[in-house]
Amino acid sequence: MDKKTVLLISIIVVLAVALVYSVSARNNAKTGGTSSAVQPTAMTDNFMKPHIPAELTDSQKAELKAGAADHSATSLTFDVTGGSFYFAPNEIKVKQGDKVTIIFHNVGGTHNLTFTDFGGLATKTIQRGQSDTIEFTADKKGTYEFYCGVGGGFHRMMSQIGVLLVS
Ligand SMILES: [Cu+2]
Protein backbone atom coordinates (compact mmCIF):
# COMPACT_ATOMS: atom_id res chain seq x y z
CA MET A 1 0.00 0.00 0.00
CA ASP A 2 1.22 3.46 -0.79
CA LYS A 3 0.93 6.40 1.58
CA LYS A 4 -2.21 7.77 -0.04
CA THR A 5 -4.11 4.51 0.45
CA VAL A 6 -3.05 4.29 4.08
CA LEU A 7 -4.20 7.84 4.70
CA LEU A 8 -7.55 7.18 3.06
CA ILE A 9 -8.14 4.02 5.08
CA SER A 10 -7.16 5.85 8.26
CA ILE A 11 -9.72 8.57 7.58
CA ILE A 12 -12.46 6.01 6.89
CA VAL A 13 -11.66 4.16 10.11
CA VAL A 14 -11.69 7.35 12.16
CA LEU A 15 -15.06 8.38 10.67
CA ALA A 16 -16.53 4.90 11.26
CA VAL A 17 -15.41 4.91 14.88
CA ALA A 18 -16.82 8.41 15.39
CA LEU A 19 -20.17 7.31 13.90
CA VAL A 20 -20.42 4.20 16.06
CA TYR A 21 -19.48 6.18 19.13
CA SER A 22 -22.12 8.89 18.53
CA VAL A 23 -24.89 6.33 17.89
CA SER A 24 -24.03 4.38 21.02
CA ALA A 25 -23.81 7.59 23.07
CA ARG A 26 -27.31 8.53 21.87
CA ASN A 27 -28.68 5.10 22.75
CA ASN A 28 -27.11 5.34 26.18
CA ALA A 29 -28.77 8.70 26.70
CA LYS A 30 -32.15 7.22 25.71
CA THR A 31 -31.87 4.22 27.94
CA GLY A 32 -30.43 6.30 30.76
CA GLY A 33 -33.91 7.60 31.70
CA THR A 34 -37.13 5.63 31.67
CA SER A 35 -36.29 3.22 28.91
CA SER A 36 -39.92 2.41 28.10
CA ALA A 37 -40.89 6.07 27.70
CA VAL A 38 -41.73 7.14 24.19
CA GLN A 39 -39.14 9.58 22.98
CA PRO A 40 -40.55 12.82 21.63
CA THR A 41 -40.26 12.99 17.91
CA ALA A 42 -38.31 15.79 16.38
CA MET A 43 -41.62 17.34 15.23
CA THR A 44 -43.19 17.31 18.69
CA ASP A 45 -40.00 18.64 20.15
CA ASN A 46 -40.05 21.53 17.72
CA PHE A 47 -43.78 22.10 18.23
CA MET A 48 -43.28 22.54 21.97
CA LYS A 49 -40.79 25.35 21.52
CA PRO A 50 -42.11 28.92 21.72
CA HIS A 51 -42.98 30.32 18.34
CA ILE A 52 -42.66 33.86 17.16
CA PRO A 53 -45.83 34.87 15.28
CA ALA A 54 -45.26 35.49 11.63
CA GLU A 55 -45.69 39.02 10.39
CA LEU A 56 -49.07 39.58 8.74
CA THR A 57 -49.15 39.12 5.01
CA ASP A 58 -50.29 41.98 2.78
CA SER A 59 -53.65 40.30 2.20
CA GLN A 60 -54.14 39.79 5.95
CA LYS A 61 -53.30 43.46 6.56
CA ALA A 62 -55.79 44.48 3.87
CA GLU A 63 -58.48 42.28 5.43
CA LEU A 64 -57.81 43.76 8.87
CA LYS A 65 -58.02 47.30 7.54
CA ALA A 66 -61.26 46.56 5.70
CA GLY A 67 -62.73 45.03 8.87
CA ALA A 68 -61.89 48.14 10.86
CA ALA A 69 -63.46 50.29 8.16
CA ASP A 70 -66.61 48.16 8.31
CA HIS A 71 -66.90 48.82 12.01
CA SER A 72 -66.71 52.61 11.66
CA ALA A 73 -69.69 52.38 9.33
CA THR A 74 -71.92 50.72 11.94
CA SER A 75 -75.24 52.52 12.28
CA LEU A 76 -77.09 52.19 15.53
CA THR A 77 -80.57 53.42 16.35
CA PHE A 78 -81.82 53.92 19.90
CA ASP A 79 -85.35 54.66 21.00
CA VAL A 80 -85.24 56.81 24.11
CA THR A 81 -88.47 57.52 25.92
CA GLY A 82 -88.80 60.53 28.20
CA GLY A 83 -91.24 62.00 30.70
CA SER A 84 -91.17 64.05 33.88
CA PHE A 85 -88.31 63.73 34.75
CA TYR A 86 -86.47 60.81 33.24
CA PHE A 87 -85.05 59.17 30.14
CA ALA A 88 -85.32 55.44 29.49
CA PRO A 89 -82.84 54.09 28.76
CA ASN A 90 -80.57 56.63 30.41
CA GLU A 91 -77.37 54.89 29.33
CA ILE A 92 -76.38 54.30 25.71
CA LYS A 93 -73.19 52.46 24.72
CA VAL A 94 -71.56 52.77 21.32
CA LYS A 95 -68.14 52.38 19.72
CA GLN A 96 -66.07 55.26 18.44
CA GLY A 97 -66.96 55.94 14.83
CA ASP A 98 -70.52 54.59 15.07
CA LYS A 99 -73.26 56.54 13.38
CA VAL A 100 -75.83 57.07 16.11
CA THR A 101 -79.51 57.79 15.67
CA ILE A 102 -81.58 58.64 18.74
CA ILE A 103 -85.33 58.75 18.39
CA PHE A 104 -86.72 60.60 21.38
CA HIS A 105 -90.29 59.74 22.30
CA ASN A 106 -92.05 62.04 24.75
CA VAL A 107 -94.68 60.24 26.84
CA GLY A 108 -95.50 62.99 29.33
CA GLY A 109 -95.02 66.75 29.61
CA THR A 110 -92.79 69.01 27.50
CA HIS A 111 -89.20 67.85 26.95
CA ASN A 112 -86.24 67.61 24.66
CA LEU A 113 -83.01 65.63 24.53
CA THR A 114 -79.88 67.80 24.48
CA PHE A 115 -76.13 67.12 24.34
CA THR A 116 -73.58 69.65 25.51
CA ASP A 117 -71.12 67.85 23.23
CA PHE A 118 -71.46 66.99 19.55
CA GLY A 119 -72.02 70.63 18.69
CA GLY A 120 -74.84 71.20 21.15
CA LEU A 121 -76.93 68.60 19.36
CA ALA A 122 -80.58 68.57 20.48
CA THR A 123 -84.01 67.38 19.48
CA LYS A 124 -86.84 69.84 19.12
CA THR A 125 -88.76 70.55 22.31
CA ILE A 126 -91.78 68.33 21.93
CA GLN A 127 -95.05 67.55 23.65
CA ARG A 128 -96.45 64.27 24.97
CA GLY A 129 -97.07 61.84 22.12
CA GLN A 130 -94.50 63.44 19.80
CA SER A 131 -91.13 62.15 18.66
CA ASP A 132 -88.01 63.75 17.21
CA THR A 133 -84.80 62.30 15.88
CA ILE A 134 -81.15 63.33 16.08
CA GLU A 135 -78.29 61.75 14.15
CA PHE A 136 -74.57 62.13 14.68
CA THR A 137 -71.26 60.28 14.55
CA ALA A 138 -69.74 59.31 17.91
CA ASP A 139 -66.30 60.48 16.76
CA LYS A 140 -64.60 60.69 20.15
CA LYS A 141 -64.25 58.33 23.08
CA GLY A 142 -65.63 59.37 26.42
CA THR A 143 -68.73 59.75 28.57
CA TYR A 144 -71.15 62.41 27.37
CA GLU A 145 -74.16 63.64 29.25
CA PHE A 146 -77.47 64.28 27.60
CA TYR A 147 -80.27 66.04 29.41
CA CYS A 148 -83.59 67.77 28.98
CA GLY A 149 -83.02 71.47 28.34
CA VAL A 150 -86.55 72.54 29.18
CA GLY A 151 -87.26 74.82 32.15
CA GLY A 152 -83.97 76.75 32.14
CA GLY A 153 -82.09 73.83 33.72
CA PHE A 154 -84.92 72.72 35.98
CA HIS A 155 -85.59 69.39 34.22
CA ARG A 156 -81.86 68.68 34.16
CA MET A 157 -81.63 69.49 37.86
CA MET A 158 -84.53 67.07 38.43
CA SER A 159 -82.27 64.33 36.99
CA GLN A 160 -83.77 64.16 33.55
CA ILE A 161 -80.34 63.14 32.36
CA GLY A 162 -78.56 60.25 30.70
CA VAL A 163 -75.12 59.26 29.42
CA LEU A 164 -73.68 58.22 26.12
CA LEU A 165 -70.62 55.99 26.57
CA VAL A 166 -68.29 55.93 23.57
CA SER A 167 -65.52 53.31 23.80
CU1 LIG B 1 -87.89 67.71 30.36
Q: What whole-number distance in Å separates Cα of residue 35 and Cα of residue 31? A: 5
Model confidence, pTM = 0.58
> Could you tell me if residue 143 is inside a domain?
yes
Domain count, the chain: 2
| 90 and 46 part of one domain | no
Q: How far is the CA of 87 from the centre of ligand 1 (A)?
A: 9
pLDDT of residue 94: 94
Q: How far is the CA of 78 from the centre of ligand 1 (A)?
A: 18
In the sheet with 114-115, reading across from the earlier edge strand, the strands are 91-94, 161-166, 142-147, 114-115
Q: What are the start-end ranges of the H helices in the chain?
A: 3-32, 42-48, 58-72, 154-157
| 147 and 84 part of one domain | yes
| 159 and 110 part of one domain | yes
pLDDT of residue 66: 74
**Structural domain for 117, as ranges:** 74-166
pLDDT of residue 33: 45
Q: How far is the CA of 130 from the centre of ligand 1 (A)?
A: 13
| 155 and 81 part of one domain | yes
pLDDT in tens, the chain (167 residues): 576 666 665 666 565 655 555 555 555 554 444 445 555 555 555 666 667 878 989 988 887 777 665 555 589 999 999 999 999 999 999 999 999 999 999 999 999 999 989 888 999 999 999 999 999 999 999 999 999 999 999 999 999 999 999 99
Ion ligand 1 residues within 5 Å by Cβ: 111, 148, 150, 155, 160
Q: How far is the CA of 91 from the centre of ligand 1 (A)?
A: 17
Q: What whole-number distance in Å separates Cα of residue 109 and Cα of residue 145? A: 21
Q: How far is the CA of 103 from the centre of ligand 1 (A)?
A: 15
| 88 and 144 part of one domain | yes
| 81 and 162 part of one domain | yes
| 160 and 128 part of one domain | yes
> Could you tell me if residue 66 is inside a domain?
no
Strand pairing report for 99-106 and 75-83: parallel
| 47 and 81 part of one domain | no
